[in-house]
Amino acid sequence: MSVKLDANIPEGPIEQKWDKHRFSMKLVNPANKRKYQVIVVGTGLAGASASASLAELGYNVKTFCIHDSPRRAHSIAAQGGINAAKNYPNDGDSIYRLFYDTVKGGDFRAREANVYRLAQISNLIIDQCVAQGVPFAREYGGLLDNRSFGGAQVSRTFYARGQTGQQLLLGAYSAMMRQVGLGKVKLFPRREMLDLVLVDGKARGITVRNLTTGEIESHAADAVVLATGGYGNVYFLSTNAMKSNVTAAWRCHKKGAFFANPCFTQIHPTCIPRSGDYQSKLTLMSESLRNDGRVWVPKNKGDARPPQQIPEEDRDYYLERVYPSFGNLVPRDVASRQAKFRVDEGRGVGPTEEAVYLDFGDSIRRLGQKAIEAKYGNLFQMYEKITGENPYEVPMRIFPAVHYTMGGLWVDYNLQSSVPGLHVLGEANFSDHGANRLGASALMQGLADGYFIIPYTLGNYLAGQDLVKVDESHQAFKDSQQEVRAKTDKFFSIQGSKSVDEFHRELGQLMWNFVGMSRNAHGLEEVQNRIAGVREEFWQNLKMTGQRDYRNDELEKAGRVADFLEMGELMAKDALERRESCGGHFREEYQTPENEALRDDDKFCHVAAYEYQSQDSHKMAWQRHQEELSFEYVKLTTRSYK
Amino acid sequence: MAGTAGKALNLKLKVWRQAGPDKEGRFVEYEARNISSDASFLEMLDVINVDLVKSGQEPIEFDHDCREGICGSCSMVINGSPHGPDRGTATCQLHMRRFRDGETIVIEPFRAKAFPIVKDLAVDRSAFDRIMQVGGFISVNTGNAPDANSLPVPKENADMAFAAATCIGCGACVAACKNASASLFVSAKLAHLALLPQGQAEREQRTLSMVAQMDEEGFGACTNTGACSAACPKEIDLENIARMNRDYFKASLRERSEKS
Ligand SMILES: Cc1cc2nc3c(=O)[nH]c(=O)nc-3n(C[C@H](O)[C@H](O)[C@H](O)COP(=O)(O)OP(=O)(O)OC[C@H]3O[C@@H](n4cnc5c(N)ncnc54)[C@H](O)[C@@H]3O)c2cc1C
Ligand code: SF4
Ligand code: FES
């Protein structure tokens, strides 16, 4: 039976929804906040900002992360910048325009009310970060500098050289560490969440493994906030950090949290191509590079000349040719697909012929090497370290790679999942980016969720509940520990012959080939069986070494890959059922004569949210639910960047 | 030479293996065969580890995550140098083209009293977080901030603050120092905040608290030899230590005169 998903969007005109909602939400009085215990899982931008803000309000917070220090969360690696509608450059930006660009960029598969709120909050984030001492780039007059990113015709991106994520995360981490010092946040690093504990159908705690000692621990609370990042590593090769995973979200999914739009993944157009079989991850070259770099391939197939020797008339600056008004700054999904088309045509470059050029020659001639160095110095250095080539002299070789996951646990307007008391923030939820995320919008969303939304909506939840007292001695915690231990035992009992990494690579290859940049019905049907096959082999032929009761990286990886092997199947299923193309989801059967994505707004203008049902031996089952989307402000039109 | 495919290298590794903080450690030798010169150093270890696992042995454990020189997880001493031979490079950014065929590579964990070994090449650097929690912040609650452009910051100061703020908290400075001093790390954080107008109100207290915690954690004294900055993957400037010392001197004078 299909349930009706209620997003709990407040009434009223869009620009008043959030203000009105904040007024009508219940408050927890200051003296009572001390009585509540909140668990935050994850210390990326979303989790660190939430921990700090909730503790500042007076809640008792327990914060968990898998890293040895909360400062190492994957957010640290974000490069290019964070959007806000400040309109400092006076180039016509506004909250409405940021809202409009984000809805359109997401190809009309995000909730208007959420996106509007995000745009409203964006300005507060910049203020907060500057007050914390985040050293954003500045102009000579001492005021903040902006640059442009894909999918926008204004400059609204704030940045700190190529290390924006690092600086924002250190800001949020510092704010959180201040609360650790004050005793309001209790920090649990090197803990992996392996289960969500429910009492009376509400989220009341978690089960974690201490990754250093191997101990299985229980932690009870009045509410759980999940901010554990995205699931891009299901593809094995991605720009995500090595430990990024779906495990925490997946275990919540199996405890009742719906998973929304799992097939919406973002393939980023500018990454360093892979060089060999040993490749462990891919490195992003920030999209900001497309401000000054021009993308091209040789006009002629098989042109083997070094790029510098290919004259202008033999080059095809295909993005400028196909999209004259946005040029090199088209959104990511469009740029990635175009690169794939060029490679498929046989015009790819480099040793693997799976790359296109990103050329700074013109900009260096126009602005000078110094200016380019000041803007992108660390990115150029990173490129050179990895490839051994000097990008000031030779154009970069780039190719798309998996980068971000728009899908995630379903949440309502209050960021609450379908499990009462479980709230989901940052990349782990599905909320604001529709079928394609615009550059510099993930950092914005993570911090909006953590600093400015959850502090209000969590109070509203807690004030409206009559929660029974629960502690770690409750039977539900014991059962959960039992379940977690049984899974660990199983890993050790298989005694097969293949390493975790081998299974992971196999899964990744299937995902990339069949659920990657372009998808079709036949492939999506076939791949579900093949994923199930790899999963079956995993549970029969895994080789596990080392100890159960001490640090064991293989054991950590096994748990994550086991979940990816289930997640991958759901992604393929969702991609198959969404019989349209939109944003990053490109179904070959549904395209315009110019190879652009062809949406079907009559049948698919909705969020697909999956309810986990069962797993008998190796067959998995889900129920698909729909949340209908309506567009009252940004008219449903075909995206055009021409 | 647009992307020549890598050469194959054969190497001998001497790797520090230690099962836990209180266990005895030792060097174990491994052969690394047929490693592409385009592979990263950590990918070379991945290749060895898959073989170890498949033959039923425990893989070599080390900390890593981003593999692009920004999270500060990776932490190894390679042939005597923290993060290996290249300047301004974290272990994860080091590539095998830097090594010669047939070479022996010695790999050890960062060694310092304040960084106990957890397992093999992984150490416990939580002391850095404890230093941060006593003062590495500006006390501003969420929602209290004025408009971001109401406080212009001279570009020069903003750039210097940014340079100091790029520290990744890896601890190579400690590993490189014969006294295992954490001065470069602590001074980078202090400089980042001291160079900004927002950081002034708490400047003295912050300096006193963080320096006191650094001593408490068992890091050694700084004797200005500069090995830290040479090993630092972000090339954090030694000048920051001088600035910290000046601030510390000023703050402790005031503290003493206020007490007396
Ligand atoms: C290379 C790169 C560059 C990017 N650049 C930009 C950019 O310029 N602008 C932009 O807007 N976005 C960018 N993004 C996207 C953006 O960085 C991420 O979407 C965002 O940082 C995610 O933040 P988060 O807080 O949701 O999760 P994360 O930062 O991924 O944090 C997840 C946290 O959860 C913890 N965790 C995970 N699993 C568990 C578990 N099972 N148990 C306990 N803890 C767990 C981790 O330890 C970590 O603390 C970039 C992404 C990449 C990969
Ligand atoms: S100062 Fe340099 S070496 Fe020391 S922790 Fe920071 S980045 Fe690492
Ligand atoms: S793994 Fe992140 S800095 Fe080396």
Q: What is the pLDDT of residues B205-236, one digit of tens each?
A: 999 999 999 999 999 999 999 999 999 999 99
Look at ligand 1, atom 44, and give the residue with the nearest C-alpha: A65
* pLDDT for residue B2: 35
Where does the pLDDT of residue A617 fall: very low under 50, low under 70, confident under 90, or very high at 90 and above? low
Residue of A83, A138, A387, A542 to mutate for B, most B C-beta atoms under 10 A: A138
Residue of A53, A120, A174, A184 to mutate for B, most B C-beta atoms under 10 A: A174
Contact list, B128 vs chain A (CB under 8 Å): 69
Torsion angle in degrees (nearest 10) through CA of A432, A433, A435, A439 = 180
CATH number of A38-195+241-264+406-463: 3.50.50.60
Decide: A147 in ligand 1 pocket, CB within 6 A: no
Residue of B51, B70, B168, B203 to mutate for A, most A C-beta atoms under 10 A: B70
Q: Evaluate whether the domain defined by A477-605 bears CATH number 3.20.20.210.
A: no
CA distance B197 to chain A (A): 9
Amino acid at the residue A482 = Q
Better-predicted residue by pLDDT, A641 or B74: B74
Length of chain B: 260
CA distance A587 to chain B (A): 32
Between B142, B151, B153, which is nearest A128 by CB?
Answer: B142
| B219 and B145 within one domain | yes
Chain B CA closest to residue A135: B162
Where does the pLDDT of residue A402 fall: very low under 50, low under 70, confident under 90, or very high at 90 and above? very high
Burial class (CB in 10 A: 0-12, 13-18, 19+), A153: middle
Residue B103 lies in a domain: yes
Instruction: Give the helix/strand (H/E) hosting B8.
Output: strand B8-18
Residue A45 Cα to ligand 2 midpoint, Å, equals 22
Between A131, A181, A242, which is nearest B140 by CB?
Answer: A131
Residue B67 lies in a domain: yes
Bridge-partner residues for A619, per DSSP? A616
Handedness of CA A105, A108, A110, A115 (dihedral sign): positive
Residue B174 Cα to ligand 2 midpoint, Å, equals 8
Query: What does the buried/exposed string (b/e) look like for A479-495 if buried means 16 or more CB atoms within 10 Å of the residue's CB?
Result: ebbeebeeebeebeebe
Contact list, A388 vs chain B (CB under 8 Å): 38, 95, 97
Substitution site in A49, A65, A403 for ligand 1 pocket (most atoms within 8 Å of beta carbon): A65
Decide: B199 in ligand 2 pocket, CB within 6 A: no
Residue B168 Cα to ligand 3 midpoint, Å, equals 9
Decide: B172 in ligand 2 pocket, CB within 6 A: yes
Decide if A394 and B141 are in contact by the 8 Å CB cutoff.
Answer: no
* pLDDT for residue A374: 86
Spans of all domains in chain A: 38-195+241-264+406-463, 269-403, 477-605
Q: Helix H segments across A34-73? A: 45-57
Decide: B219 in ligand 2 pocket, CB within 6 A: no
- Ligand number with the minimum distance to the CA of A122: 1
Q: Distance between alpha carbon B201 and the CA centroid of its chain, in Å?
A: 28
Q: Radius of gyration over alpha carbons of chain B, in Å? A: 21
The pLDDT tens digits of the residues spanning A52-111 come to 999 999 999 999 999 999 999 999 999 889 999 999 999 999 999 999 999 999 999 999
Assess whether pLDDT exceeds 50 at residue A340: yes
* pLDDT for residue A565: 97
3-state SS, A337-358, equals HHHHHHHHCCCCCCCCCCCEEE
Residue A147 Cα to ligand 1 midpoint, Å, equals 22
| B193 and B86 within one domain | no
CB atoms within 10 A of CB A299: 13
ipTM of the complex: 0.97
How many distinct structural domains can be found in chain B? 2
Catalytic pick among A147, A204, A209, A332: A332
- Ligand number with the minimum distance to the CA of B92: 3
The pLDDT tens digits of the residues spanning A457-507 come to 999 999 999 999 999 999 999 999 999 999 999 999 999 999 999 999 999
SS3 assignment, position A556 = helix
| B91 and B109 within one domain | yes
Decide if A389 and B70 are in contact by the 8 Å CB cutoff.
Answer: no
CA distance A397 to A354: 9
SS3 assignment, position A164 = helix
Assess whether pLDDT exceeds 70 at residue A1: no
Q: What is the mean pLDDT of chain B?
A: 96
The structure tokens listed for A23 are 């007024």
* pLDDT for residue A2: 61
| CATH (domain of B211) | 1.10.1060.10
Assess whether pLDDT exceeds 90 at residue A614: no
Where does the pLDDT of residue A264 fall: very low under 50, low under 70, confident under 90, or very high at 90 and above? very high
In angstroms, how far apart are the furthest CA atoms of chain B? 70
* pLDDT for residue B1: 31
The pLDDT tens digits of the residues spanning A144-162 come to 999 888 778 899 999 998 8
Decide if A351 and B134 are in contact by the 8 Å CB cutoff.
Answer: no
Average pLDDT over every residue of A344-368 = 94
Length of chain A: 642
Taking alpha carbons only, the member of A305, A454, A476, A314 closest to residue A394 is: A305
Residue B91 Cα to ligand 3 midpoint, Å, equals 7
Residue B259 lies in a domain: no
Better-predicted residue by pLDDT, A4 or A248: A248
The pLDDT tens digits of the residues spanning A202-228 come to 999 999 999 999 999 999 999 999 999
- Catalytic annotation present for A332: yes
Instruction: Give the helix/strand (H/E) hosting A607.
Output: strand A606-616
Residue B167 lies in a domain: yes
Torsion angle in degrees (nearest 10) through CA of A67, A70, A71, A76 = 70
| CATH (domain of B93) | 3.10.20.30
Final residue before a domain boundary, out of B68, B99, B119: B119
Residue B2 lies in a domain: no
The pLDDT tens digits of the residues spanning A224-233 come to 999 999 999 9
Q: Which atom of ligand 3 is nearest to the CA of A77?
A: 2
Q: Distance between alpha carbon A292 and the CA centroid of its chain, in Å?
A: 26
Taking alpha carbons only, the member of B103, B112, B78, B63 closest to residue B231 is: B78
| B114 and B130 within one domain | no
Q: Distance between alpha carbon A435 and the CA centroid of its chain, in Å?
A: 12
Residue B183 Cα to ligand 2 midpoint, Å, equals 10
Residue B1 lies in a domain: no
Between A128, A307, A499, which is nearest B145 by CB?
Answer: A128
Confirm if A148 and A159 have CB atoms less than 8 A apart: no
Percent of chain B's residues with pLDDT above 90:
94
Better-predicted residue by pLDDT, A379 or A150: A379
CA distance A178 to A174: 6
φ, ψ for residue A158, nearest 5 deg: -90, 145
| B248 and B139 within one domain | yes
CA distance A355 to A400: 8
Average pLDDT over every residue of A411-421 = 98
Tell me if the pTM is above 0.90.
yes
DSSP character for A542? B
Where does the pLDDT of residue B4 fall: very low under 50, low under 70, confident under 90, or very high at 90 and above? very low
Better-predicted residue by pLDDT, B128 or A80: B128
Q: What are the strands, taking DSSP E only, across A200-346?
A: 202-210, 216-220, 223-226, 259-260, 265-271, 294-298, 315-316
CA distance B7 to chain A (A): 11
B163: containing domain: 126-254
Final residue before a domain boundary, out of B88, B119, B150: B119
| B76 and B132 within one domain | no
Decide: A195 in ligand 1 pocket, CB within 6 A: no
The structure tokens listed for A72 are 């190492």
| B102 and B219 within one domain | no
- Ligand number with the minimum distance to the CA of B166: 2
Decide: B92 in ligand 3 pocket, CB within 6 A: yes
Q: Which atom of ligand 1 is nearest to the CA of A247?
A: 41
- Close Cβ partners of A274 (under 8 Å, ≥ 6 residues apart): A237, A282, A352, A354, A399
The structure tokens listed for B177 are 């120092």
CA distance A243 to A67: 9
Decide: B183 in ligand 3 pocket, CB within 6 A: no
Handedness of CA B52, B175, A173, A87 (dihedral sign): negative
CATH number of A269-403: 3.90.700.10
Confirm if A45 and A75 have CB atoms less than 8 A apart: yes
* Strands, sheet with B76-78, edge to edge from the N-terminal-most edge strand: B25-36, B8-18, B104-109, B76-78, B81-82
Final residue before a domain boundary, out of B100, B119, B138: B119
| B233 and B140 within one domain | yes
CA distance A226 to B240: 38
SS3 assignment, position A316 = strand
Assess whether pLDDT exceeds 70 at residue B3: no
